[in-house]
Structure 1
Amino acid sequence: MKKAILILLVFGKLFWGCAPLPSTTLKTEMSSFKKEGMIAATLSLEDKRMMSEYTLKYEQINGTGSKSLFVDQLNLKKNDFVYNNGQVKFGYSAGDFKEGNKDVYLFNIIKPAGKYRIYELDIFHNSGSQLNQYNYKVPLDITFEIVEGKISYLGEINIFIKDKITKLINSIERDRVKFREINPNIIF
């Protein structure tokens, strides 16, 4: 029995510990044909729970989006599982680094030029049993603009999950260093 529990713990840690971070697949190429630009930012979570998956959701509120539903469908199929259209998944992993008690994640968004809004942090908690699975949503209202051919810095989105309190913090000096450590092509 003890062996079975130990094996489950080891495989569970491997499974949850191997969930990809957005920083492992940071994209750096912007298409001039699609008039793309980039926003670089960090997400920090206070009172983060183990065994929870976090997804930051955003939408375009105006800009140069495609005019064809067919083209939109083709673009959706080109995106991978970390950078789906309109969301950034943070998985079950610890952040890229810790600052005090908070996990901090690096991410970027490459999209056509325009105005966008981050509107929600979706949290899926799964401790292994159906009785202990639930979705929890933290409403957000953070607007930003993507400029064609430019890399812009949004800031650190700091979220206190239990209280649903969000702060946008300017941590540009720290984040410049952290982004350069992971991908020296992202300069803002």
Structure 2
Amino acid sequence: MEPYIMTEKLRRDDMIVKTKYAKDYNLVHRYLCGDRDAGQELYASIYPLVQQFIWNHTNAKTLTESVKEEILSQTMMTSVEKLEYYNGTSSFSTYVCGIAKFKILEKIKSSIKESEKENNIINIEENTSIFDNPLNIIIDKELRETVAKAQQMLSRDHQQVIQLRLNGMTAKQIAEMVGMSEDAVNSMFYRAIKAFKKNFENIYYK
């Protein structure tokens, strides 16, 4: 991994700053100064942690294995490009996992857009527990078209939370990814389902 050239700001900072995460900060500082061994040590220590973070926050239904590998690669590349912005206020692995989180969201949003282009039909459950046992709506062409229209009428947030849940992500995983509480995600999903049903009824029974 080739070291990046230091910015003028960092060139003037010859002091090795002592922080709670001094080891990480000092390795980054040395790597920016051209020490390749420091870079290898830095990334060897965080690679498995970042990989685990990505795999824990996605699943086979959400993103394929090849896409996860792509996210991991892009995350590492971006972390090197943004290396000078690491300031030692968190561990370097946490800093890179933050980048990974953004990359995951980008991929999921892209996946949702592709799904919409292909006019995929979302499956809505009709059960006492709307979070656990979806009942797929697969009937005739007219009904499927109504489902698609009702989905398109939802806000972007409601479309995404429904799609993520139906792709197999738990409320906890979504909450960690978007920086919300698990209760807030469940509440949003409930409101999204309620809005969808209202849209569906307004279209189908008008």
TM-score bucket (shorter structure)? under 0.3
Higher helix share: 2
TM-score under structure 2 length normalisation:
0.22
Larger Rg: 1 or 2?
2
TM-score under structure 1 length normalisation:
0.24
